[in-house]
Amino acid sequence: MTIAIVFTVLLALIGSLRYPWWKPAVPITLPRILMYHMICEPVPGARFNGLRVSPQQLERQLAWLRRHGWQFRFLSDVLSADAVRQPGSEKVCVITFDDGYADNLHSALPILQRHGAVATLYLVQHRHDNDWSVKKKQHHDEGELAREPKLTDAEVETLLASGCFELGGHSATHADFSKLDPATRRAEIVESKSALERRFGVPLQTYAYPFGIYDSLDVALVREAGFLGAVTTRPGISRDLQTERFELKRVKVSGKKGQLIFRLGMRMGWRTWV
């Protein structure tokens, strides 16, 4: 075997590991829950560019989903009693946005409207002047996420009035729950839900665990608060909405990955190896 052939075979093997098209697809009747944060251009040299999906990327992704017959739904609708008891045969996609960045209105909303899409917004109650990235890792102290413009209450009202967004809970301060006592955890979940419902006059029916950090106590508190279900940051596609409704997996959409990775995520749920 010549060196050229060996090199070609190695490249093919590496490519198959990076883009594992050969893995079995998850049945298309299982809803895909996509996780987004910001819809904006990457910032040169920034730490969190994976959270920044450009408007052009979102446009391509939603166009592809619509072209391939995916139906956009709010997560609360997917978790409704009737939907869980009698799952349909259609291909369902749930779009979620975490935290409450202003570009969700200024960049994401027009794209959603063009494609007839809807999304669930997981809103941090106290999102202004709040550098939550340092709460998980103290060396993330450059203030990058703190400087990102967050939605004002008036802008949240605009999103809700559009009909393209429903509101979900994401705690009061986006704390690292592994560092909190039970009483503080309860306040973060239960009291923030009540406060946002009073402020915006809509029910918060689903919840997203900050940083994806949670344990059995947090699951119990989310149930106690009256949420229908909750999403995690665990990559994948949940197989049973009823048993997993408070620990639902999501497909992370990264601004550092291209359309092929997005399509593989929709097919299998899991991230690729790189």
pLDDT higher than threshold 90 for residue 50: yes
Q: Is residue 1 part of a domain?
A: no
Tell me the DSSP string of 82-151.
Answer: HHHHS--SSEEEEEEEEE-BTHIIIIIHHHHHHTT--EEEEE-TT-TT--THHHH-TT--S-HHHHS-B-
Rounded CA separation 61/72 (Å): 13
Q: Is residue 247 part of a domain?
A: yes
CA 104 to chain centre: 12
Q: Is residue 16 part of a domain?
A: no
Mean pLDDT in residue range 189-215: 97
Q: Is residue 14 part of a domain?
A: no
Mean pLDDT in residue range 206-227: 97
Per-residue confidence (pLDDT) for residue 1, from 0 to 100: 53
pLDDT higher than threshold 50 for residue 188: yes
Q: Is residue 12 part of a domain?
A: no
User: Are the C-beta atoms of residues 248 and 230 closer than 8 Å to each other?
Assistant: yes
Q: Is residue 81 part of a domain?
A: yes
Q: State the burial class of residue 2 (Cβ atoms within 10 Å of its Cβ: 0-12, 13-18, 19+).
A: exposed
Per-residue confidence (pLDDT) for residue 25, from 0 to 100: 75
Q: What is the pLDDT of residues 93-124, one digit of tens each?
A: 999 999 999 999 999 999 999 999 999 999 99
Q: Is residue 273 part of a domain?
A: no
What rounded mean pLDDT belongs to the chain? 89
Q: Is residue 8 part of a domain?
A: no
129: domain CATH number? 3.20.20.370
Q: How confident is the model at residue 28 (pLDDT cuts 50, 70, 90)?
A: confident
> How many domains is the chain built from?
1
Q: What is the pLDDT of residues 51-62, one digit of tens each?
A: 999 999 999 999
pLDDT higher than threshold 50 for residue 29: yes
Q: Domain containing 249: what range?
A: 26-268
